[in-house]
Structure 1
Amino acid sequence: MSGPAHAHLLSLDEWWALGEDQEVRVELQEGVRIVSPRPRPAHARVVLSLATQLSGQLPAGLEVLIEVDVVIDPHTPATVRVPDLIVRRRSAVEFPITADQVVLAIEVMSPGSRRTDRVTKSSEYAEAGIPHYWIVDEDGVVTALDLTSGGYLATSFTGEVVTSNPWPMRISLKR
């Protein structure tokens, strides 16, 4: 998705037309391309560990996907995020992935993503109706956010996530 800067806010069609960028991680926030470095190996190990553990505990009909575009708001100016992991229904349309397909979104924080993950994405995901959002910090603490009528309700886990919401699971946070 490298290329010249756009002087206007992008629509979803313009976003898809840019194609995939392998050199950097790119998201679309209210029509503006947001570029960040690709994750480092430690980040990738955490994502892989979470994906592996989640995959083994999913109820039938759900799947784990890593680093896929999720359309948060299709209206121009569009918003497309790339969570580190999502869990979605297998019966969902293959492409594009939309927020209503996502049961759980997970972000593993990087040094430069703290505010984006905790504030911006939390707000966007809640407005889009994503029912469960986890933020994993560099100390191995998971903040599990469950959507209520008043916004996300937070529960923190250290060392291990043991929960029945959104389904019974036990996830080790040891690195």
Structure 2
Amino acid sequence: MSAATDIGAFARALPPHPFGLEEWDALPEGLPAKVELLEGVLMVRSRPSARHQRVAVLVMNALAAVLPPEWCAVPKLDVLIEGGPTPTVRAPDVVVIRTATADHRTRQDPADVLLAVEVQSPGSRRTDRVAKLAEYAEVGIAHYLLVEPGPPVVLTELLLDDGAYRVRAEHRGRAELALGATIDLDALDR
């Protein structure tokens, strides 16, 4: 069965009403696409490219190398933005979460998220720069990194300040982040 057929079969099996968290939790692992939940509506995107994933791993590894033991960097964990009958669940490319929650939950409460990273893909620019920016700020995620995978790779570092994000820096080449991580953004192009 092809990936297109799998997605078609998956789409036909969806309920005719908004998803609740129970239905979200019941989704099978290893879906042939990236999925998020926006006000109870399943949002499906194609799988990220190899470059997209390499950029995410580069950022994740740089963060992991400098975090204190109470924090850890992990890929693609769900973050509950809003509960209720029509929930919103986002899946950033990388998150920095409290280590104490890492082994106990696959869906993180935003209070346990220090940083979210979104690597932009074709079709995700507006979502990452507008919708997710507002959502992550609203739930109090202190650091937000937006990465354009290039070439060249450009990393925009945003810090939460009085309920809204402000740009700390737009990095090219070598990024020295507020959390202490240094990332060689040109490493992907060498």
* Shared fold (TM-score, shorter chain, > 0.5): yes
Structure 1 residues 102-111 or 56-65, which shifts more? Answer: 56-65
Counterpart pick for 1:44 among 42, 50, 53: 53
Structure 1 residues 80-89 or 139-148, which shifts more? Answer: 139-148
Q: Secondary structure at the match of 1:92?
A: helix
Structure 2 counterpart of 1:124? 135
Give the superposition deviation at 1:28.
0.3
Deviations 1:58-86 (A, max 9, x none): 12211111111111112221011110000
Structure 2 counterpart of 1:154? 167
Give the superposition deviation at 1:21.
4.1
Give the superposition deviation at 1:142.
1.0
Q: TM-score, normalised on structure 1?
A: 0.91
2: CA distance, partners of 1:149 / 1:19: 39
Q: Secondary structure at the match of 2:101?
A: coil
2: CA distance, partners of 1:43 / 1:37: 12
Structure 2 counterpart of 1:115? 126
1: CA distance, partners of 2:143 / 2:99: 17
Deviations 1:105-138 (A, max 9, x none): 0001011110011011111111111111100013
- Counting helix residues as a fraction of each chain, which structure ranks higher? 2
Structure 2 counterpart of 1:142? 155
Aligned length: 173
- Which structure has the bigger radius of gyration? 2
What is the alpha-carbon root mean square deviation over aligned residues? 1.6
Deviations 1:1-33 (A, max 9, x none): 934233222111121122324211110011000
1: CA distance, partners of 2:155 / 2:85: 33
Tell me if the contact between 2:62 and 2:181 (Cα under 8 Å) persists in the aligned partners: no
Structure 2 counterpart of 1:80? 89
Q: Secondary structure at the match of 2:100?
A: coil
Which stretches in structure 1 are left out of the alignment for 5+ residues? Answer: none
Give the superposition deviation at 1:150.
4.3
Give the superposition deviation at 1:149.
1.1
Amino acid at match of 1:162: E
Which stretches in structure 2 are left out of the alignment for 5+ residues? Answer: 1-6
Counterpart pick for 2:41 among 15, 27, 32: 32
Q: TM-score, normalised on structure 2?
A: 0.85
Q: Secondary structure at the match of 1:111?
A: coil
Deviations 1:88-109 (A, max 9, x none): 1102262131111110100010
Structure 1 counterpart of 2:4? none
